[in-house]
Amino acid sequence: MSVQPARRVAYETLRAVTDSDAYANLLLPSAIVRAGLKTADAALATELTYGTLRRRGYYDAVIALAARRPVTAIDPPVLEALRLTVHQLLSTRIASHAAVHEGVELVRAHAGRGATGFANGVLRSIAREDPGTWRTRVLATAKNDIDRLALAHAHPPWIVRAFRRALIAEGRGDELEALLAADNVSPAVTMAALPGLAEPPAGSVHTPYSPIGFRSAGGDPEPIVTASGGILRVQDEGSQLAALALSRVEAAHSGERWLDLCAGPGGKTAVLAAEALAVGATLDANEISPARAGLVRRAVAGVPLDVEVSEADGRERGAAAAGTYDRVLVDAPCTGLGALRRRPEARWRKQPADVVPLTDLQTELFDAGVAALRPGGVMAYVTCSPHLAETAAIVSEGLRRAGGSVEAIDTRAVLAQVVREPLDLGDPRDSSLHAQLWPHRHGTDAMFIQLVRRVAD
């Protein structure tokens, strides 16, 4: 098959994401290694994979117009090759003849000779018109403003609506297009130097907000992580701030007990472990998934602190430890809509129906985290999602159920004391006490953070 190795790796990864619900960020690196791709080809495979995933909805609209049939009527192996090729035709500088030729060859290899004529016709039809013309044609099919934004920025309409509601709640509804555009930009690699254990390497640049965050001088960060034994690690700046908000909400004391209730994969756990070590606190972690619990153990391996990692249901773990902990992190399972830059396939995989069962779980974990607090203890409720049903609604209902035994802490004020530079967290006249980070405004994942305190008896 006369297909460049980078395109072949990208195609196989895209097929696995679609057919097997694989995660590109987990699958692609190993696929690149197996294929023996050098730096330039590895970069191309990465761009082709993530670029195609990010704009899949838009490319499907182009393909449907060119093929004169819905994409659901196109065989999956053919459709994936078309998507990959359309990305090259409309969003890269790759020569159109090369892209079309190799796209047809992918179809020949994976769907048979009979499908090549169809694929060739569709791709040549797309290649004959420039990207601006296709954008005009696609947006002309929109039924309303939400539809237009969804097509233009390749997000499902329900996610566009959820983002709009969250921004309007901050008085920032006019930032919607900026947020959608930010989701389609590959994020810079951000790293953390675990406090008290490591310093950023020479030549690196501090991140604007997290006091432990930095960006490396360039290249693959894995050698830096490996050489450090894990005390230098890749971690989104928003994730760092979520952990630091809890550890630095007030002065910690020797002998305090901390708990990370939903710890996998362990990035926040590692930060908390370093912070606990520095003040003489202890840290327990819990993760229901054995595989993810293993990731937590590896994440904290570089911290000279004995972190016990249990594998219980977080709801049961919190209830069993009633009144035990001084600080609890509830990094609740969520839709992950705040990390669409890094996990672009999630936008096409998640559905509105996923929200209700997740909010039910988040509600129960919120209550379990509160139950685990001793009087005066502090909990951080965190989600990597700006969806109001997963964020402000969970907190407000949790406080209502607590009936005065739990109070919200001004999380914005806490973060103001943590960050290097001021954080723009919305209209200062807004009385909300939570912090919502945004990709377009802060360059972080859309992390929601609310600190609450169990009122002393």
Write out the catalytic residue numbers.
384
Report the distance separating Cα 400 and Cα 330, nearest Å.
Answer: 18
Peptide bond connecting 265 to the previous residue in cis, omega within 30 degrees of 0: yes
Structure tokens at 136: 């005009």
- HSE-up of residue 224 (Cα within 13 Å, Cβ side): 23
* Orientation angle between helical segments 267-279 and 237-247, nearest 10 degrees: 30
Report the distance separating Cα 241 and Cα 6, nearest Å.
Answer: 36
Structure tokens at 441: 């405004």
Structure tokens at 164: 């709009």
* Orientation angle between helical segments 24-35 and 39-54, nearest 10 degrees: 150
Report the distance separating Cα 368 and Cα 321, nearest Å.
Answer: 9
221 forms beta bridges with: none
The three-point CA angle 386-391-395 to 5° equals 160
Q: Note the Cα 320 to chain centre separation in Å.
A: 31
With H, G, I as helix, E, B as strand and everything else as coil, classify residue 310: strand
With H, G, I as helix, E, B as strand and everything else as coil, classify residue 15: helix
Phi, psi of 10 (to 5 degrees): -60, -45
Structure tokens at 1: 């098959």
Strand boundaries in 365-447, DSSP class E: 373-383, 406-408, 435-436
Q: What are the C-alpha distances in Å from 285 to residues 185, 272, 292, 444?
A: 33, 10, 12, 25
Structure tokens at 415: 């973060």
Q: How does DSSP classify residue 112?
A: -
Q: What are the C-alpha distances in Å from 37 to residues 7, 46, 98?
A: 11, 11, 19
